[in-house]
Chain A
């Protein structure tokens, strides 16, 4: 009998344990963790800042000799920005150089058949190798009989002036190399002639001829330049500029406007160029620092 009771109790034990477990589980309060998705297109407001233990940092030098901090656990490297040297605003002195040049673009273009233009001399002052006030004086002429046209256009040698400034994008680099953008105002006053004109309407059979002599003209124009200067030898450099220009003002003439303007070129072209031989006179007695890179 006792054995039967013992066997029955042994069978009941797992059932009682299961019921007890279920009862306990039902009575426990559930934790609710609602998940609200972010609205489409939104990003988390803050990035979690990575913590690191400063005691794990050791000071080391890199290949260039710069001091860096290395996390001994993660292997990450840090740069202490407070130790970094701030880049200088202006590497070169205010009165840095005087630069003079001879622009012989028009002379060179005559090789390609151009029938106008002479040359100009110009000068600029290098301020911090960054800003370059500019002045130019030149002479221009024209003697052109375009093929298939009914006239000869002439302008005796006439002066022109330009004033403006350039900006060097490589101002903290080696001053032997410059990438400059400039703005200039040009002015000229001169005379032009139209000679040997033949007018033939093609019907009456008696063409007429005329010439227009000593037409006075004054013009002002704007130039936007972009160019390079490269040292060739010692104080000598070469400069190439591409020039966009536009006439700002000019006198009006009942007999028409001239096709050539000294210093500007032909009015039909919006783009021209400059090509200069340049001589540089250093103003600063101290040798200018030459950075490692351009």
Chain B
């Protein structure tokens, strides 16, 4: 009977339905609209990442991208490179920087412990980026888009 009751108790756990880390999710938009775009010629790199590893490599078409913050720094920067032949000049690359406070947080038994990030300031260059917006300054492990990057686009896509 005890073993049976233990089974009932054990089976009632819900599991983690959110992320197990606080990962900021950025969406790519065409300037002046709420239309998502899927650029196929940009690369995104975290500045200072080991081996210059990329978060997004050219040729991959996505409309959203996770931009993980460095949990042991107060600031994280990302470089957006345009690898299309006419635009592939380092002086046209854009840089996006986030300053934040990392708040230790215990989400749940299943999702674990992590940092929440309270973004205090963000800056960006405006070569091909028109603007950047944040819908919430608190980055949690809830899987939702909080950063919107608006690109200057001649046509619908870069």
A residues at B contact (CB < 8 Å)? 108-109, 112, 114, 146, 149-151, 153, 194, 197, 199, 201-208, 210, 212, 240, 242, 254-259, 265-273, 275
**Closest 4 pairs between A and B when the two form their complex, measured CB to CB:** A256-B106, A208-B72, A201-B68, A259-B109
Known: A255-B103, A271-B9. A204 touches B112 (CB 8 A): no
Give the complex CA separation of A210 and B2 in angstroms.
38
Q: What's the minimum C-beta distance from A200 to chain B, rounded to whole angstroms?
A: 8
Cβ A194 vs Cβ B6 within 8 A: no
Interface residues of B in 7-28 (CB under 8 A from A): 8-10, 12-14, 21, 23
Cβ A194 vs Cβ B46 within 8 A: no
Partner of B107, one of A254, A256, A270, A273: A256
Cβ B106 vs Cβ A242 within 8 A: no
Q: What's the minimum C-beta distance from A120 to chain B, rounded to whole angstroms?
A: 17
Interface residues of B in 99-123 (CB under 8 A from A): 102-110, 112-115
Known: A194-B106, A268-B14. A205 touches B71 (CB 8 A): no
Residues of A within 8 A of B1 (CB): 240
Residues of B within 8 A of A114 (CB): 6
Residues of A within 8 A of B48 (CB): 204
Cβ B8 vs Cβ A242 within 8 A: yes
Give the complex CA separation of A112 and B71 in angstroms.
37
Cβ A273 vs Cβ B106 within 8 A: no
Residues of B within 8 A of A109 (CB): 2, 6, 9
Residues of B within 8 A of A146 (CB): 109
Cβ B46 vs Cβ A204 within 8 A: yes
Give the residue name and chain of the A residue nearest to B20 (CB): A150
Cβ A201 vs Cβ B21 within 8 A: yes
Cβ A208 vs Cβ B68 within 8 A: no
Cβ B9 vs Cβ A259 within 8 A: no
Known: A108-B2, A151-B113, A268-B13. A203 touches B46 (CB 8 A): yes
Give the complex CA separation of A125 and B41 in angstroms.
77
Residues of B within 8 A of A153 (CB): 106, 109
Please list 28 pairs of residues, one from A and one from B, whose beta carbons are closer than 8 Å in the complex, sorted by A's number.
A194-B113, A201-B21, A201-B23, A201-B69, A201-B70, A201-B71, A202-B21, A202-B68, A203-B53, A204-B50, A204-B70, A208-B71, A210-B115, A212-B106, A242-B5, A242-B8, A255-B105, A257-B106, A257-B108, A259-B106, A259-B109, A267-B109, A269-B9, A271-B8, A271-B9, A273-B5, A273-B8, A275-B2
Residues of B within 8 A of A258 (CB): 106
Give the complex CA separation of A202 and B49 in angstroms.
11
Cβ B104 vs Cβ A255 within 8 A: yes
Partner of B112, one of A149, A207, A272: A149
Q: What's the minimum C-beta distance from A141 to chain B, rounded to whole angstroms?
A: 16
Cβ A206 vs Cβ B14 within 8 A: no
Partner of A151, one of B6, B21, B49, B106: B106
Partner of B105, one of A240, A242, A256, A273: A256
Cβ A197 vs Cβ B108 within 8 A: no
